[in-house]
Chain A
Amino acid sequence: MQRMVGACASQGADEYDDLYRQHHARIGRLCRLLLRDDHEAEDVTQEVFVVLYRAYLRGPRLVRWAPWLTRVAVNACHGRRRSRWWRLWHADSGAVDVAGVPVQDPTPEAQAITAEQRRGVLAVFNTLSLRQQEVFLLRYVEGYSTDEVATMLGIRPGSVKRHLFRATHAFQKALRPSRGAQ
């Protein structure tokens, strides 16, 4: 019996390790984009995986872990940004200098994007509201459907569309070629 429990625990640990490997980078990137602070993002990512571990210890569940982890991460980032401490020290973090942002292993699409466009996108992203950032990241960077994003954030699909419209519109304005370039 003890051997069976040990085998189950070992299998659970393996699954947890797989989940960690699959999602850690993705969750870390999401947290970094939402918090714009590497240290805080690393902290929150660890918290998310501690929550996952605790959930895992409670036993096997029929859960789609990817959206579940995303939801936990978004909520954790939300909580962190709402804290008094965060507001005191990161009140001005929206103005963090994003010029010269390094790109890791750029894809051909990314290579086609000019440095000016890149700066424009990040500058606009910084000006979006937290909700618009979350919605845009979940819908277009993470690739969830509008309904899934609405469920994750606990808002109506109509609100998701409204935030998406504003974010997309802001990006389009920033990326519109200047008159001099035409």
Chain B
Amino acid sequence: MIGCLRDRTLVRLLYEEGSTRQQRHLRRCARCSEQYAALSRARDVAATVLREAVLRPVDRMALAGRNVGGLFQRPAVRVIAPLGVAAAFAVALIVVLRAATMPVAGSGARPPAGFSLDDVVASAFTLDDAGDWVDADADDLRWQAALGGQRPCETQDGFSDPYCN
């Protein structure tokens, strides 16, 4: 039939809001009546299902898993995540390589293997220096004796040393 009603008009008639002319057309036109009945049935079925349905409780763990999975489906995350992983890997690689090639602190001043306390003493107190130093303090026999590998028989406090030479 020419001039059949549009879906929007049929829905308006479903709310009992159409004009009398449209209602009259609906009563006469088989095609519009059929379409109207289908709309009305869909509305009633949907309302009945929603009125009587009790939704299944949400499995929160499954939902959380799905959301985390869904996060990586987002285009922005799909681009940023591999770049982030690559950047983190590059930084880690640089840190490891620098740690491997960097000299240990103080390693340049490390003494050679045969270096001993005697060498330190020998370099700190050369014989000439020792002579000057002893001359400067000539009264102190103990120092002279010590430098000569001897022990004085009389100590500074007046007692005699039984092991003196």
Q: A90-B63, A164-B15 are in contact. Are A106 and B47 (CB under 8 A)?
A: no
Within 8 A of A (CB), among B64-87: 64, 66-67, 70
> Size class of B's contact patch?
20 to 34
Is A65 located at the chain interface by the 8 A CB criterion? no
Is A118 located at the chain interface by the 8 A CB criterion? yes
Chain B residues with CB below 8 A from A169, complex form: 7, 11, 39
Asked if B45 contacts A113 (CB within 8 A), the reply is: yes
A113 and chain B: residue at smallest CB distance: B45
Interface string of B12-49 (1 = CB under 8 A from A): 10110100000000000000000000110111111111
Is B117 located at the chain interface by the 8 A CB criterion? no
Give Cα distance in the complex from A98 to B51, angstroms: 15
Binds B, one of A3-11, A29-37, A55-63: A29-37
Binds A, one of B52-60, B103-111, B131-139: B52-60
The interface of chain A, by Cβ under 8 A from chain B, is 29, 32-33, 36-39, 88-93, 95-98, 100-107, 109-110, 113, 117-118, 121-122, 124-125, 136-137, 140-141, 146, 161, 164-165, 167-169, 171-172, 174-176
The interface of chain B, by Cβ under 8 A from chain A, is 7-8, 11-12, 14-15, 17, 38-39, 41-58, 60, 63-64, 66-67, 70
With A89-B64, A167-B46 given, name 19 new contacts (CB 8 A). Answer: A39-B57, A91-B70, A92-B66, A97-B56, A102-B56, A103-B52, A110-B52, A121-B46, A122-B53, A136-B46, A136-B50, A161-B12, A165-B11, A171-B45, A171-B46, A172-B38, A172-B39, A175-B41, A175-B42
